[in-house]
Amino acid sequence: MEKVIIIRYAEIHLKGNNRGFFERAFCINIEKSLRGIKHEIRRQSGRYLIENFDEDDEDAIVSRLLKVFGIHSLSVGLKTACDTDKIFAAVCKVSESEGTFKIETHRADKTFPLNSMQISAEIGGRLLDYNHNLKVDVHNPQFTINIDLRENGTAFVFGKFIKGAGGMPVGTAGKGLLLISGGIDSPVAGHMIARRGMEVDCIHFHSYPYTNLQARDKVIELTKLLSKFTGSTKLYIVSVTHIQEEIHKNCNPEYMVTLLRRFMMRIAQKIAIRNGLQCLITGESLGQVASQTIEGMTSSNSVVTLPVLRPLCGFDKDEIIERSRKIGTYETSIQPFEDCCTVFLPKHPAIRPQRKDIEEEESKLDADYLVDEALKTSEILSI
Q: Are 153 and 253 in contact (CB under 8 A)?
A: no
Q: Say if residue 113 is preceded by a cis peptide, omega within 30 of 0.
A: no
CB atoms within 10 A of CB 302: 13
User: What is the C-alpha to C-alpha distance for residues 311 and 114, in angstroms, rounded to an integer?
Assistant: 49
Domain 2-163 falls in which CATH fold? Answer: VC0802-like (3.30.2130)
- Residues facing residue 154 across a β-bridge: 81
DSSP for 86-104, please give it. Answer: HHHHHHHHHS-SSEEEEEE
Q: Is the pLDDT of residue 340 over 70?
A: no
Q: Is the pLDDT of residue 338 over 80?
A: no
The domain spans of the chain are 2-163, 175-382
Q: Is the pLDDT of residue 271 over 70?
A: yes
Nearest by Cα to 183 from 270, 59, 312 = 312
158-216 residue pLDDT tens: 999 999 999 999 999 999 999 999 899 999 999 999 999 999 999 999 988 887 888 88
User: What is the C-alpha to C-alpha distance for residues 7 and 39, in angstroms, rounded to an integer?
Assistant: 14
Q: Is the pLDDT of residue 341 over 70?
A: no
Nearest-Å Rg of the Cα atoms of the chain is 27
Q: Are 6 and 46 in contact (CB under 8 A)?
A: no
Length of the chain: 383
Nearest by Cα to 221 from 187, 185, 264 = 187
Q: Where are the alpha helices (DSSP H) in 232-293?
A: 241-250, 256-274
Calculate mean pLDDT across residues 139-164: 94
Q: What is the architecture, at CATH level 2, of domain 175-382?
A: 3-Layer(aba) Sandwich (3.40)
Distances (CA, A) of 252 to 107, 123, 255, 262, 274: 71, 78, 6, 15, 33
Could you tell me the pTM of the whole model? 0.90
- Is residue 65 within a helix (H) or strand (E), and if so which, with residue range? helix 58-65
56-77 residue pLDDT tens: 999 999 999 999 999 999 999 9
pLDDT the model gives residue 202: 98
